Every structure is written in C-alpha cells, then in structure tokens.
Amino acid sequence: LKSDDTPVQSGQNLRSPICCIMGHVDAGKTKLLDCIRGTNVQEGEAGEITQQIGATYFPAQNIRERTRELKADAKLNVPGLLVIDTPGHESFTNLRSRGSGLCDIAILVVDIMHGLEPQTIESLNLLKMRNTEFIVARNKVDRLYGWKTCKNAPITKAMKQQSKDVQFEFNTRLTQVVTQFKEQGLNTELYYKNKEMGETFSIVPTSAISGEGIPDMLLLLVQWTQKTMIKRLTFSNEMQCTVLEVKVIEGYGTTIDVVLVNGVLHEGDQIVVCGLQVGSNCDLNQSIVNTASDEGAPSQVTWLLLELALHEIDIVESLKTIAQLVIGTYLHHKEIKAAQGIKITAQGLEHAIAGTSLYVVGPHDDLEDIKEATMEDMKSVMSRIDKS
Ligand code: GDP
C-alpha cells in the first residue's frame, strides 16, 4: 500500500479530495457526473449548462447515503468530494492537463464496448506524467447484451442478478481491457479483487444510465484518498487557487470559476489574477496585466458564489428574504473554505486567463512579488498551450 504514512487523527482537519473525470469522448464522462449528481445536465433538463461552476461538491452525508447499501460501515474523515467537471472542454488538451494537475485522484472512464481509445491513452499519459492516482470506471455495463437493470445497486449485487451469458461477456471484456492496460505498462484488476491497491489500479464497472456500480465508485474514491493521502489532504491556510474558466453570466458580468484547493477566500479579499490585454501583440512581458485592470492594481472580490444544489433552489425561491441575495442559481457567501469550486465576481476580470493561479494580497504582502508570481504562472500556461 502506497501511502503518505501519516496516521489519521480523529477530528483532523482534512479538506475534500479533488477528483477529475477523464477519458475518450463519448465514454460517458458527462453522464457519469450527472448520475452522481442526480441531475440531468446532459439533456438540459435541469439547470443551464452554462451556469455550472465547473466543479461539483458532494458532501460526505450525500456519499454516505449513496453508499449505504455497500454496508462498508465507512468512516468518512473527509468533508466531501469535489469533482472537477471538464467534459465541456474536451478538445483542449491544456484544460485536461490543467484538470489533472489540480486533482488528487482521477476517474478514467472507459467504454465497456470500446476499450482503450486515443483520448483514453492521452489521459493515461497525463496521469502517468503527473503521478496521479486514478481508478478506472468501466462504463456502460448496461449495454452488455441481456443486462438486467438493478438501479443504483452495488456492482457485485447487480452481477449476481445477471445470466451466465452476461457474466461471460463481462469477464471477456474485462480480460480484454486488462490486457490493453498491460500494453500501456499498467496492472489493473476489478476493485473488489484488487489486493495490491497502489500497485495495481482498480476497475469499477459502472452504468451512468442505471447507476450500477456508482456507490462502489464513490466509496472507493473517498476511502482510497483518505487512507493514502492524509498529508496532502490536511487543510492548510496557504492559499492555492486556480482559475478554471472565465465566463460572462447574465446579471453578474464577467466572472471567474475557480477551484480553491487550499485556504479560505473571503468576500472583499484583494485578489490578483493574470490577464491578457486586448489588442496586445501577445508579447508575454508586455501583455500581462494583473487582474486585467489597466493599473495592475488588485481587484476586490465582490461576490463569492456557490452553485445551488437543485433541491435548494425551491427552498430559496420560497424564502424571498434570502432570494434577494441570489441571482440565478448561485448562493452568496461571506467566506468559503477549501476544497471548493467557486464563482467569483470582481472588477476587471474580463481578460483573466484560465489555468493560472489566483492570489490574495495580504496586508504584509508585496504586490510586486505577487505580480511576478502571476507572470511565471502565465508563462507556464502559455508554454503548455504551445505544446498542445
Ligand atoms: P462524454 O463525451 O464522455 O462526456 O460522454 P457522454 O456522457 O456525453 O455520453 C456519450 C453517450 O453515451 C451519450 O449518448 C450517453 O447517454 C451515453 N452513455 C453514457 N454513459 C452510459 C451508460 O452507462 N450506459 C449507456 N447505455 N449509455 C451511456
């Protein structure tokens, strides 16, 4: 067992692990996220895709409920799980690379009917390069011929309900994918048979349509991270925050979606992000303007927003006093602690660049040092874009 060797202490202040979903186009990344979120964003039924923050937070309570049937008696030491949602941007290697850089663990989605495909291998290479832990979701099990649906059931329970033919096809396809992974230099095994986690990567069969295997996947993610990454997941006040996207939202103007990996963000914080000046000749040293404001002065966070869970929207709509704090489907917060996906509104975010870090200027910080750090950050993002 690979572990960072730090024993858990009760009441330890852990942050939520950050997980990203990767894999070939059409493997089911969006659908899988919809399924664990209990929404149907893909078909546009629930909420606007454009209003997603790009990261979804699942509180421990939610995970506990979803995994109850596994009777794992799971002690969850982490407050929840933050899943970064990049399916909308799949054509950008840079974003995939950024997403995988932020995450503690990844879900590599592989279509059971297809096995490893070009973008699966590309994702795999990114994960290997960054030494990122991952689990394999062997998705679309419901497409096996003759599959009997067992909605949201743990996978072993669902498999017991299947005919010999389905089980045979399942095993054949499993052997095929294990061989394909081997060709990539990786050992893989069904998660409940995996005795060498950390050396051998776990495969969780899932259906994003009928939910089989989803409880197993959630439990595995949380248990694995909290068991092996205590040091990494210990909450730190040292701010670590990355801009995921820059979006114009009606009622808010230009906003940035960020992933707060560590630290606490407050309303009113002075922030610095790097931006490109429009019309510049893209000479890096000249075009960088911090916070995208002409003076290069820090911006002040006006609103810190979290996306409302669907069931919360009704509640808020009925409470008119709270509703005035809310435009669209976001809830306004005074401060937000990591790890979390947050939407920020502030002046001068128009030219902010996704993939760079956000810095908070503290009372004793030197603004010039921070600007220098943003500049370095920008150069590394630009070089990644050039490579991809
Ligand atoms: P992405 O490109 O990886 O985000 O893939 P999507 O989530 O958009 O899924 C691609 C297609 O596969 C869609 O038509 C989904 O409805 C379908 N799909 C995804 N997951 C499953 C699954 O578990 N079972 C079945 N039968 N279809 C799925």
56-61 average pLDDT score:
83
Q: 117 in ligand 1 pocket by Cβ < 6 Å?
A: no
Among 74-78, 145-149, 276-280, 344-348, the minimum mean pLDDT is found in 276-280
C-alpha 281 – ligand 1 centre gap (Å) = 42
pTM of the predicted protein model: 0.83
What is the percent of the chain with per-residue pLDDT over 90, rounded to a whole number?
35
- Our answer on whether the CB atom of 86 is closer than 6 Å to any ligand 1 atom is no
Residue 73 reports pLDDT greater than 70? no
Pocket probe for ligand 1: among 26, 31, 138, the residue whose CB has the most ligand atoms within 8 Å is 31
Query: Percent of the chain, pLDDT > 70?
Result: 72
Can you spell out the DSSP letters for 182-233?
HHTT--EEEGGG-S-BTTBEEEEEE-TTT-TTHHHHHHHHHHHHHHH-HHHH
Query: Going by CA atoms, what residue is nearest to atom 14 of ligand 1?
Result: 26
Using an 8 Å Cβ cutoff, are 79 and 60 in contact?
yes
Distance CA 255, CA 273 (A): 12
Q: What value does the mean pLDDT take over residues 167-188?
A: 97
pLDDT tens digits along 195-246:
988 899 999 999 999 999 999 999 999 989 998 999 999 999 998 998 888 8
CA of 111 to the centre of ligand 1 (A): 9
**Phi, psi of 5, rounded to the nearest 5 degrees:** 60, 25
CB 162 within 8 A of CB 191: no
Compute the distance from residue 29 Cα to the ligand 1 centre, in Å.
7
CB of 85 closer than 6 angstroms to any ligand 1 atom: no
**Residue range 143-171: average pLDDT?**
97
What is the CA(41)–ligand 1 centre distance, in A?
Answer: 12
**Residue 139 is encoded by which pair of tokens?**
């998705």
Angstrom distance (rounded) from CA 210 to CA 364: 54
Mean pLDDT of the 384-388 span: 56
Q: Exposed e or buried b for every residue in 47-69, given b needs 16+ CB within 10 A? A: beeebbbbbbbbebebbbebbee
Cα four-point dihedral sign 303, 309, 312, 314 = positive
Q: 31 C-alpha vs ligand 1 centroid, how far in Å?
A: 5
pLDDT, one tens digit per residue, over 352-364 is 887 788 888 888 8
Q: Output 387 or 340, whichever has higher pLDDT.
A: 340
User: Does the pLDDT value for residue 114 go beyond 90?
Assistant: yes
Residue 179 has pLDDT above 90, yes or no: yes
On the question of pLDDT at 170 being above 50, the answer is yes
- Ligand 1 center to residue 313 CA distance, Å? 27
Mutate to test the pocket of ligand 1, among 24, 26, 141 (most ligand atoms within 8 A of CB): 26
Atom 11 of ligand 1, nearest CA residue: 26
pLDDT at 148 over 70: yes
Work out which ligand 1 atom sits closest to the CA atom of 23: 3
